[in-house]
Structure formats: C-alpha cells, structure tokens
Structure 1
Amino acid sequence: MSAVAKILRARHPDLMTGPDDPGEQQVQASSPLIRCGNQLVAVMSMPAPIPDDDGLWARAATIWPEGKAVAARHRGHLIVSMLGKNERPLVAARVTTAVIGALIAAMPECCGVVWAGRVARPSGLWLEMSSRSFAPFPDYPFILWVDILPFQSDRKIGAITVGLSTFVGREIEFKTAKLTLPALIDKVAGLSVYLVEHGNVVKDGDTIGASATERIAVRHRNSEVFTGLPVFSCTDDVAGSLQ
C-alpha cells in the first residue's frame, strides 16, 4: 500500500495521500486502508474470480470486445471502496477511480475493472483515463462509470445508459427520429455528465435543451428496454414535447 500511495501521490500531486511519513510506511504496508485527499479507501484482496455475468460482458463488448475472454483467465480480484456513506457520489467516484488507477500502475497484472458491478473496462483504458479523476466538469472520466448502449425502436433509434443510476437513481433512455447515432450518443453523454455533476435535478415533465429552440421532453418512467428499470425517458419529437 505504501507503493500504491507513492504512485497515487505522483499521479495526483495536489492531493494529500498516505502513508506519507517514511517512519509509518513499514507499519502501513499491509494495511487495507489508503488515504486519498481527505478520504479513506479500503482495498480488500479476494482470492477468487468475480461472479460471471454475461450481461456485463455483452455491454462491455462495444468498448472492450475481448473483455469476456480476458476476464475468464483471472483468478483473483480486489474490492475497492471509499469509507463513509455521506459523500456525494461524484466525490466517491473521483477518489475511488484515482486509487484504482494507482493500484493498476502498481500491479501490471491487473487485467480490468468492473465498476459498481455494472460497467467493465480494460485496465489500460482505466490507467489512462483515471489520471483525470479530479479534472473539473465536464472533463472527468465518466466513461469509466457509465455505459451508453444504442438500440432500435420501431423507426427510431435510441440509447440507454447503464451505471448512471449509481449517481442519480435513474438511467437515461433517449429515443429520436431526428438525430444520427453519433449525435444521439453525444447528447446522452452530455446529459449524463450534467447529472453526475449536479445530481437528480431533472424533474418529471421538465424540458431540457442546449438552446432556446431545442426542447427535449423528459418523463420519469420505467425503461422499455430493461423492464422495471427507472429512467429519465427523453424524446425530441415535437408532438411529444411539453411546450
């Protein structure tokens, strides 16, 4: 853990990380706790594979096609969690992401990260993007925390998030007959980052938009894609907007 703290300090020099007293390092080396800023993070070693989850690897395949095959070879994992339940989810995500990045740098044998049991990413991507854990809005690495999955619905295309509910209690489900798929993904990504930053501030019946002429209707519903999943259901249909 003292090696991890040293790497964490080098990657995020503005943070106070521990153990930072050379006299404490021998005692702290086997400690399950590491300090990152003002927070304590627990790291627990589990000498067994994570439970298999076909849905997790199917979702990850867009970004990490070989993820399932890589995960099938692993024989142990670490559980990383911030102590204390009263911090904002974004604070916990930033701190935990930074510590995971330092752990990967200290242990190159790490093959990947499963975030909150929902989002899987390769260790190389995590190592790279976790350097921005404390970047200001909107530049922090939310792509490590949230999947955006495309789907087709009748003559429309759509996208749904997985992982956003960790921050705001709901996912985004956005359907459009106007946007291209890249534009739709950008729209959902932008709204996701906004909600991660500000919390659950979009109420049932609100309209949102990047300009005065753009009106996107938002309703609080259960998903049409994942049964029973609470979502912000968004549409840019003129007939469906609440103007």
Structure 2
Amino acid sequence: MSAVARALRTRYPELPVETVSDNGPTGAHRNSASSPLIRCGDELVAVMSMPAPIPNDPGLWSRTATTWPEGKTVAARHRGHLIVSVLGKSQQPLPAARLSTAVIGALIAVIPECCGVVWGGKVARPAKLWLEMSGRSFAPFPDYPFTLWLDLLPFRSGAGIGAVTMGLAAFAGREIEFETGKLPFPTMIDKVAGLAAYLVEHGNVVKDGDTFGGDERERFAVRYKNSDRFGGMPVFFCVTD
C-alpha cells in the first residue's frame, strides 16, 4: 500500500495521499504498512485483496466483446482480484468514481499482473487502457474518463438502429435507450454519448418528457419507462421519429 500511495503522489501531485493505520476487528492496532486503507484528501479508500476469481458473468463478457474482444480470454486466466471502495455513506457518485479510478490506476501501475478492471459489475476494461485513461481522473468536465465507467452498445431495431448504455444508472438512476430511423450511426452514437456525459456530470436532471439536443431545431424527447427490449430495466427512452 505504501507503493500505491507513492504512485498516487506521482500521478496526481495535487492530491494529498497517505497510508493510514486502523484497528482490526478485535481492536488490535495495525500499522499503516499492513493497513488496507489510503487517505486521499479528505476521503478514505479501502483496497481489499480477494484470493479468488470474480464471479463469472457471461452477460458481462458478452457485452465487453464489443470493445475488448479478447477480454473474456484474458480474464479467464486470473486467480484473484482486488476490491476498491471509497468509504462513507454520503459519497456522491461522480467524486467517488473519480477517486476510485485514480486509485485503481495506481494499483495497476505497481502491480503489473493486473489484467483488467470490472467496474460496478457492469463494465470491463483492459488494464493498459485503464492505466492510460485514469491519469485524467481529476480533469474538468468533459475530459475525465467517464467512458471507463459505462458501455455504449449499438443494436438494430425495427425503426432502424439504436444504442443502449450500461453503467449510467450508477450516476443517474437509469440507462439510456435511444432509437432512430433517420440519424447516421456516428451521429446517433455522438448524441447518446453527449447525453450520458451530461448525466454523469449532473446526475438525473432530465425529467420525464424533457427534451435535449444541440439546438432548438434538433430536440429529442425523453420518456421514463422500463425497457421492452432490455429486460425491463429503467431507461431514459429516446426516439427521433
């Protein structure tokens, strides 16, 4: 953990970092070298070592194949994992995500055996990508690496094409389900990514029936519903037609 703290100080010079001592479950004092806790600014982050693979989730690796085709094969070789948690009941999702992302990046920097990161049980990313992008953990909006925290998955629909997010609900309470019969694919992806980034930054500020878009001539209505296509999960449903 001392090595992780040093990596955090190197990667984020403005972030005050220290390892801290704690009292074990029996009240026995443990020094900071063996403590699973790191203080980052005013927050405590726990790093727990688990000597077993993560539970297998075929749905996770099926989704991951879109952006990390070899992810399932790479992850199949792992024999243990680390759980990173920002402590405190009043944590806001975005600050906690920024801090967790930074600590995970520091862990990868000092533990070359890390092969990947599973975020919130929903999204998987290769370790090399996380190491690179986590350097922007504390960058101002929209430059922080929110694409590490959610997937944007395309699909075909009766109307034409669509896209759904996975992981946004942790920030806004719902995912985005967007369908269009007239927008080109790159434009659709850009619209969904822009709305997702806005909701990560501001939380659920889009109400049922609100509209969004680049200007007054291009506005898309948002409806609250449980998805007919994706197992009834709560979504911001958007359609262009």
Instruction: Please indicate, yes or no, whether the TM-score normalized by the shorter chain is above 0.5.
Output: yes
1:37 and 1:221 mapped to 2: Cα distance? 39
- Checking the alignment, whether the CA contact within 8 Å between 1:36 and 1:99 is kept in structure 2 is no
How far 1:126 moved relative to its partner? 0.3
Q: Distance in 1 between matches of 2:193 and 2:17?
A: 31
* 8 Å Cα contact 2:159-2:180 kept in structure 1: no
2:212: which partner in 1?
A: 208
Distance in 2 (CA, whole Å) between partners of 1:187 and 1:176 is 11
* Cα drift, residue 216 of structure 1: 0.2
Residue 4 in 1 paired to residue 4 in 2?
Answer: yes
- Deviation of 1:130 (Å): 0.4
Q: Look up the match of 1:51.
A: 55
1:121 positional shift: 0.4
Runs of 4+ in structure 1 over 3 Å off: none
Q: Distance in 1 between matches of 2:157 and 2:177?
A: 11
Counterpart amino acid of 1:3?
Answer: A
Matches for 1:71-220 after TM superposition, within 5 Å: 71-220=75-224
In the aligned structure 2, how far is the partner of 1:46 from the partner of 1:225?
35
Q: How many aligned positions are there?
A: 232
Structure 1 runs not aligned, ≥5 long = 21-25, 238-243
TM-score when normalising by structure 2: 0.94
CA distance in 2, matches of 1:105, 1:138: 24
Cα distance in structure 1, aligned partners of 2:77 and 2:239: 42
- TM-score normalised by the chain length of structure 1: 0.93
1:16 lines up with 2:16 in the alignment: yes
CA deviation after TM superposition for structure 1 residue 19, in Å:
3.0
Q: CA deviation at 1:27?
A: 3.0
2:27 is matched with which residue? Answer: none
Name the amino acid aligned to 2:69.
Answer: P
Cα RMSD of the aligned pairs, angstroms, is 1.2
Residues 90-129 of structure 1 show CA distances to partners (whole Å, capped at 9, x for unaligned) of: 0000000000000000101000000000000000000000
Contact 1:218 1:234 survives alignment (8 Å): yes
> Which has more strand, going by share of residues?
2
Q: Which residue type is aligned with residue 18 of structure 2?
A: G
Provide the C-alpha distance between the structure 2 equivalents of 1:96 and 1:155, rounded to a whole number of angstroms.
39
What is the DSSP-based 3-state SS (H/G/I as helix, E as strand, rest coil) of the residue aligned with 1:110? coil
